[in-house]
Structure 1
Amino acid sequence: MRLEPITPRNYEDALKLSVREDQRDLVSSVEKSLAEAYVWGEHAWPRLIYDGDRMVGFLMAFVDLPWKDPDDTDRRCGLWRLNIAADEQGKGYGRFAVEAACAELRSRGNTRFYVTYVPRDGGPEPFYRRLGFVPTGELSGGETVAVRTL
């Protein structure tokens, strides 16, 4: 498994990626993510997740992102988006991608890695808790904020 940058050769495949129908309210599309990566270019770290030659998912981390608004001095890093293809879930790709993003941001000197998620039955909270994320008590856009020490 590996993470790869998005390039002119693979971006159209990235745009085809979709999660399960019951998860579409939990995570934004790759299209929206790439638009955000364009707008927040210096803070976005978008990557495709591959198993061999097969693209199985999309991850976007954020680095030194202003937390509340563009002028905020509270800057954080963490997981902005994780989309695992509907037919590729449950195979360890999400865990691999989060661990790889944590390693990348740790190598840049970061000590905490944040994630937000929709707090509902069938949501990703158990997945993130298994990876060591702990809710902070904050909400962001109605989503639970959790953090993991790197």
Structure 2
Amino acid sequence: MSELRMVELSAATIVAVNNLSLKPGQEQYLAPVSYGIAATVINPQTSWQRVVLDGDEVVGFVSASFDPEAPEEHFRSVLWRINVDADDQRRGVGRFAVDKLLEEARKRNMDRVDVIYEAGEGGPEAFFHRVGFTPVGETEYAEVIATITFAG
């Protein structure tokens, strides 16, 4: 693995992001990438979409939102989705993306980042626990709300 870097989603990377592969069973936990990308068009002021590159190869995608005015606290600084290509999972790509997201949240004076996910075998729960998210509640649809809280 060469040095990972993160860039904004662009016309040059969007096709590769849409073609990121998943491991069997993961598709049930993710809406199509195009749903996450559409958020940029709908909420360009609050949407944060980044692509993880390993050299020149797209290996991951992260979509988040920063909206201090959101009526529900868990939507103010939220990780909406993280995709790491199946062949690149368990190599630190996801942790790298989450670390960069936390850096961005701190720059924006947020004191936490939340994630909402569906629990289940083969789902993202173990990953979110490994990178530091702690469950704090549930949505009305029985999805888990987890958070990473930090000072300043």
Q: Shorter chain as normaliser: what TM range?
A: 0.7 to 0.9
1:12 corresponds to which of 12, 15, 18: 15
Of 117-126 and 10-19, more deviation after overlay is shown by: 10-19
Flag as ranges the 4+ runs of structure 1 deviating above 6 A.
none
Do the aligned partners of residues 73 and 90 (structure 1) sit closer, same or farther apart at CA in structure 2, a change above 3 Å counting?
closer
Do the aligned partners of residues 111 and 2 (structure 1) sit closer, same or farther apart at CA in structure 2, a change above 3 Å counting?
same
Give 1:106's aligned residue: 106
Determine the C-alpha separation between the residues in 2 that align with 1:44 and 1:79. 10
- Provide the secondary structure at the position in 2 that maps to 1:24: helix
- What letter matches 1:3 in structure 2? M
- Provide the secondary structure at the position in 2 that maps to 1:37: helix
| 1:127 and 2:130 correspond | no
* 8 A Cα contact 1:116 1:140, kept in partner: no
Normalised by the size of structure 1, how large is the TM-score?
A: 0.88
Give 1:40's aligned residue: 43
The RMSD of aligned alpha carbons is: 1.8
Determine the C-alpha separation between the residues in 1 that align with 2:33 and 2:105. 21
Give 1:139's aligned residue: 139
Give 1:50's aligned residue: 53
Paired positions, count: 146
* 8 A Cα contact 1:18 1:29, kept in partner: no
Determine the C-alpha separation between the residues in 1 that align with 2:39 and 2:141. 16
Determine the C-alpha separation between the residues in 2 that align with 1:129 and 1:73. 23
Deviations 1:2-45 (A, max 9, x none): 11111222222222223223101112222111112211222110
Q: What's the offset of the Cα at 1:124?
A: 1.5
Deviations 1:60-97 (A, max 9, x none): 11101665xxxx36451021110111111111100110
Identity %: 34
Name structure 2 gaps, 5 residues minimum.
none
* 8 A Cα contact 2:137 2:144, kept in partner: yes
* 8 A Cα contact 2:13 2:58, kept in partner: no
Of 96-105 and 3-12, more deviation after overlay is shown by: 3-12
Determine the C-alpha separation between the residues in 2 that align with 1:116 and 1:62. 12
Do the aligned partners of residues 73 and 149 (structure 1) sit closer, same or farther apart at CA in structure 2, a change above 3 Å counting?
closer
| 1:22 and 2:8 correspond | no
Name structure 1 gaps, 5 residues minimum.
none
Q: What's the offset of the Cα at 1:140?
A: 5.5
Q: What's the offset of the Cα at 1:116?
A: 1.0
